[in-house]
Structure 1
Amino acid sequence: MGFPPGKQDTRSSCPPADVLEGGVLARCPSCRNTFSTERAGRQNCPVCGKPLVVPEQTGAPPAAPQGEAPDADESGTPWERREELGLVAAWAQTVQQALFEPGRLFRSARLDRGAAQLGFALLTSSIFWALGQLLERLLLAGQREQMRRLIESMSGAQLPPVARRLLETQTLSSPGAVLAFTLLTPVISFLLIYLNAAVTHGFALLLGQAKRGFAATFAACAYACAPLVLLAVPGCGSFIAAVWLIVLTGIGLKETHRISAGGAVASVLAPYLLFCCLGIVASFGLAMTLRQALGQH
């Protein structure tokens, strides 16, 4: 079809402005799910149905450094977004993700939020450790009273001095001692958190698994403190919390350092294996010393 003289086809052969040349990934600010779209502008999220605006792509995004993948979620964990979610909701969501969706939590952790991560670990460990001490005192008060009567009924000849002192130490739990320990719990937790992170990072360095620095190790160790909520459960709660913490630390190292599962497991278990070996050597040395002492009599 021709055009009259002096007239030209004013229709552009370029695609409309709201159509992208290729599919891009967009993230919904409401449900935080990622989806692919072929156009820019206002549209509805295909997952939750809420409206959002996809910006136009002015150029290709900068490539990530070689060997390092881009961050999966730059907004951080729920705890790192507590100003948006609220303190209680952010803490609860972080604990829930750590216990049941650890990979998702550790992938979203930001390495520049060490102070916030320390706050989460300190809050969780201090409160539930102190609560566990109080509950244990209330529930085991009768057992300690029976132990005290047993010590009083025994004479020095019936019970060795060392064993007697150990039993007396176990029954020593006055209200003042419990209160003092409760007040010191945050300080003790602070020291243990950093000690755990430092030892774990040291072994990761020795094994060549510390790919992203101490900040990545600290994030893994801090959020791995989520199972310490079980410290409030008298009896087996402490044991379960410790095992779960070790498992989460391994998962955290894998995600924050972006290393293999084997490297993460080796970095986490190496300190405990070394401690066990030293304990066996110390026990063997103590047994030999006692044997020699008894042989001389």
Structure 2
Amino acid sequence: MEIICPQCNFTRIIPDEKIPARAEIATCPKCKHKFRFRELTEGIATDATVDAETGPDNTSVPKQSSEKEPQPSLTHNKPETKQDNGEEFWDKLAALGQPHQDKQHRTSPSGDASTFAEIDVPWEHLDKYGFFPGLWETIKRAMLQPAAFFRSMPVGNGQIKPLIFYLLIAEFQIVMQLLWDMTGVGANATSEAGLAGISAVMLLVVYPLLLIMMLYLMAALVHACLHLVGVATRGFEGTFRALTYGSAPMVMVLVPMIGPLIGAIWSLIVTFLGYKHIHRSTTGKVLLAMLLPLIPFGLLLILVLTMAQRNGAMTF
């Protein structure tokens, strides 16, 4: 028998032999709504009453307690089937409210008691999303929903795909910047003759290699600071992922003049949220870790200014 909840339209097929003969009320396992799923004819109810009271030899049978027969529940025990898995997945999607989020329940490597459900990064599953849709969906999530994006990001799938994502964003940034400069609408307008020295080898080989070196140096420095503060709970890969996917707002270079500045500020905020939510830390600790690398540079700057003032005083 197919039983459908009139409240939430939850449906389940239950074999007739597993439904008590006199049961008329069912309880939905999803919304807990009780409803009448069928109406028994009077003859069936009478026969059932006679059979229950007289017994097989028309002898009186002691009446049992007036407990009602158990109502059929849509959550009766039965072996796991493909249909059950489908309904379970349907329930998760209904609760989530977003049909295209591939939610996977996996334990976080930190072993935290409050385990977050992990959602795969679209860029890392191009076989499912496609190249450009996966790239765009990842950029959109990182820019518009950074907290949820990094909080649910799996850690342990490697650094190659995040690195390629970062290189694509960086290459796109430099190409667009050169284009704006060549057309004269960029912050540093340059003639075509000035761009002639930038060869394809420089753009596609040397520049990415320099980017990779600077990226790993920055990631190592930040991770060391996070470790000093005591918040590097998900390893170097967690820090690396926050830094690479945090570069997504740099696509704002599409907007001439002010786009690079907006993208840089936006990227800094997204990266900060990445450190915080990937490592399950607090705002104060992450902010302290990000400011630690500036302390040596600040001291060096103060030293240089002090020496310059002394030299100036000696001149006069």
Q: Deviations over 1:2-39 (max 9, x none)?
A: 46359xxxxx9696684379xxx95549xx7462xxxx
Q: 1:19 & 1:228 partners in 2: Cα distance?
A: 53
SS at match of 2:310: helix
Matches within 5 A, 1:1-297: 1-2=52-53, 4-5=55-56, 18-19=75-76, 26-28=88-90, 33=93, 35=95, 47=97, 67-73=112-118, 75-113=119-157, 114-139=159-184, 173-177=194-198, 181-183=202-204, 184-292=206-314, 294-295=315-316
- Is the contact between residue 106 and residue 220 of structure 1 (CA under 8 Å) also seen in structure 2? yes
Q: 1:63 & 1:99 partners in 2: Cα distance?
A: 23
Aligned length: 240
RMSD: 4.0
Aligned-partner residue type, residue 255 of structure 1: H
How far is 1:290 from its partner? 4.8
Q: Which runs of 5+ in 2 are unaligned?
A: 1-51, 58-68, 79-86, 101-105
Aligned-partner residue type, residue 4 of structure 1: G
Q: Deviations over 1:214-264 (max 9, x none)?
A: 111111111101012134544333332222222111101111111112222
- Is the contact between residue 225 and residue 292 of structure 2 (CA under 8 Å) also seen in structure 1? yes
Alignment correspondent of 1:55 = none
Percent identity of the aligned residues?
Answer: 24
SS at match of 1:173: helix
Task: Tell me which structure has the larger Cα radius of gyration.
Answer: 2
Alignment correspondent of 1:40 = none
How far is 1:205 from its partner? 0.7
Q: 1:285 & 1:138 partners in 2: Cα distance?
A: 43
Using a 3 Å threshold, how does the CA distance of structure 1 residues 28 and 144 change in structure 2: closer, same or farther? same
- Is the contact between residue 220 and residue 256 of structure 1 (CA under 8 Å) also seen in structure 2? yes
SS at match of 1:19: coil
- Is the contact between residue 246 and residue 268 of structure 1 (CA under 8 Å) also seen in structure 2? no
Q: Deviations over 1:170-199 (max 9, x none)?
A: xx9351146564233222222222222111
- Give me the TM-score of the superposition, normalised by structure 1: 0.66
Q: Deviations over 1:34-53 (max 9, x none)?
A: 62xxxxxxxxxx95799xxx
Aligned-partner residue type, residue 222 of structure 1: T
Q: 1:282 & 1:69 partners in 2: Cα distance?
A: 48
Choose 232-241 or 106-115, whichever is displaced more. Answer: 232-241
